[in-house]
Amino acid sequence: MTLRLNTALAGTLAALLVTSGAAFAAGDLTLKPTELKPLELGLGNAGYGVSETKYNLETGKAYSLELSSTGKKECAWQAPDFFKSIFLRKVEVEEVEIKAIGLTEIEFEKDGEAELFFVPIKPGTYSWYCKGMEERGMKGEFIVK
Amino acid sequence: MNRQSLLSTSLAALAGLMLVDAIPAEASPRAFVTNERDHTMSVVDMATLKVTDTIKTGRRPRGIIASPDGKLIYVCASDDNRVEVYDAATLKLVKTLRSGPDPELFVLHPSGNPLYIANEDDNMVTVVNVENNDLIAEIPVGVEPEGMGISPDGKYMVNTSETTNMAHVVDTSNNEIIENILVDSRPRIAEFSKDGKQLWVSAEVGGTVAVIDPATWKIIKKISFKIPGVADDAIQPVGVRITKDGSKAFIALGPANRVAVVNAKTLEVEKYLLVGQRVWQLGFTPDEKFLLSTNGNSNDISVIDVADEKVTKSITVGRLPWGVVVVP
């Protein structure tokens, strides 16, 4: 009986620790990013296709996301509410690393690549899109838990 | 060599010289095609339909036009932020002209001067004197200006802005915007009919072509397209050309790989011609017997017989052919 209670208590404590882990995180949260599936824009014959429409993320975890465009459609890639809810570590474009505190848009005028390194800090469902091309399907979501 | 054979050799040589001399005078029309990915321009002899020369240009050549006499070829070297001027006969670079950043399309005043250039990166149309490279004006327009048209009398210049989705009408006497016309998403080309009574504006993402009455600057009709077996979202109108007599218009439909033939009187689509992949811009031969289309993904141009409304040939050019102009 005592043993069982102890086990139950220990279980609850463990659960508490796990759930509150992120809130009490210490150390550098931006290290060892999880590589997300690359997001390719401008796929298919019409050029409106995208490779991913949904990303499931967690707060306090580091991620890297490679964005690329085929150049078939110019794409002004935006995610305004998402950009406000992440810590942006850097953006890599070719051999250049850009360290800035925020983003408003990544524009692909022709084919190209950019890699984002970030840590979500606020849960929510955030949309991304190629501005003006939403009705053509160039959009998706980041779901942050 | 005896006297007789010497004479005949000299005669043959003379005839040869005369033949060489005669070629430029009897030269057939030539098409100039910008190849965006190769940074080159292909020259096609319209009599033999063969590529005769490939000229190295500035980086990312896109818009291409000719002077009214056909002697000069103007090229937008988008990634070098300049306009290059080539001699159509010698194929040599004659001079470069200023432009703002990222010039894509441009139009010459019907008199041959000035040049109006859409600068995609700074939301301006730059007006340049082609004689002395002087900056005449900078006209602020919408976001990401692209298409450029001018009325045959030279009174109105029209620029389309890709992100603002408007056609901006500019009075060329004072370079002021007098009208903004909302069209469908991502307008690409503005083209006046030769009588100046219609302005056609293509919308790539919207999938339509707006026909506008320049007397009122109101849209008379929005032409849309349906092709059996082709997904609607692959129908992306870009290049527009109207015959001089105002009877037919041809519309390049991008990844639909078709050029639409439109009755320019009734504004009804009459036919779709299968061309190469991702058809972008169009250009008539001076006699309008043929229309050429640049096909970006298949790296070729298609030759369309204008009277028969048939595609007669395709000619391989460089990578990602973008624009085309044909000179006498």
Contact B163 A76 (CB under 8 A): yes
**Which of the two residues, A5 and B126, has the higher pLDDT score?**
B126
Distance from CA of B234 to the nearest CA of A (A): 4
Q: Among residues B259, B328, B301, which one has the least CA distance to residue B33? A: B301
Q: From the CB of residue B288, how many other CB atoms can be counted at a distance below 10 Å?
A: 15
What confidence score (pLDDT) does residue B77 get?
A: 94
Contact B205 A136 (CB under 8 A): yes
In chain B, the residue whose alpha carbon lies closest to the alpha carbon of A134 is B205
In chain B, the residue whose alpha carbon lies closest to the alpha carbon of A45 is B255
Longest dimension (CA), chain B: 81
Written as one letter, the residue type at B121 is: D
A4-18, A23-37, A103-117, B82-96, range with the lowest pLDDT: A4-18
Predicted confidence band at A108 (pLDDT cuts at 50, 70, 90)?
very high
- With a cut of 50, which residues of chain B have pLDDT below it? 1, 20-24
What confidence score (pLDDT) does residue B3 get?
A: 52
Give the nearest partner residue to A132 out of B102, B186, B236, using CB atoms.
B186
Which of A78, A105, A109 to probe by mutation at the B interface, max B CB count within 10 Å?
A: A109
Q: Alpha-carbon torsion B58, B60, B65, B70, what sign?
A: positive
The tens digit of pLDDT for each residue in B244-282 reads: 999 999 999 999 999 999 999 999 999 999 999 999 999
Tokens of A85: 């809810």
Which of A43, A70, A74 to probe by mutation at the B interface, max B CB count within 10 Å?
A: A74
Pairing assessment for the beta strands B176-182 and B187-192 based on DSSP bridges: unpaired
> Does any CB of chain A come closer than 8 Å to the CB of residue B236?
yes
In chain B, the residue whose alpha carbon lies closest to the alpha carbon of A73 is B205
Model-level pTM greater than 0.90? Answer: no
Integer Cα distance of B15 and B250 in angstroms: 45
Residue B172 in contact with residue B188, Cβ under 8 Å? no
Written as one letter, the residue type at A114 is: A
Give the nearest partner residue to A132 out of B185, B233, B255, using CB atoms.
B185
Contact A132 B255 (CB under 8 A): no
For A19, the enclosing helix (H) or strand (E) is helix A2-20
Q: Is the confidence at residue A134, as pLDDT, over 70?
A: yes
Pairing assessment for the beta strands A139-144 and A54-57 based on DSSP bridges: parallel
Contact A74 B162 (CB under 8 A): yes
Pairing assessment for the beta strands B145-150 and B156-161 based on DSSP bridges: antiparallel
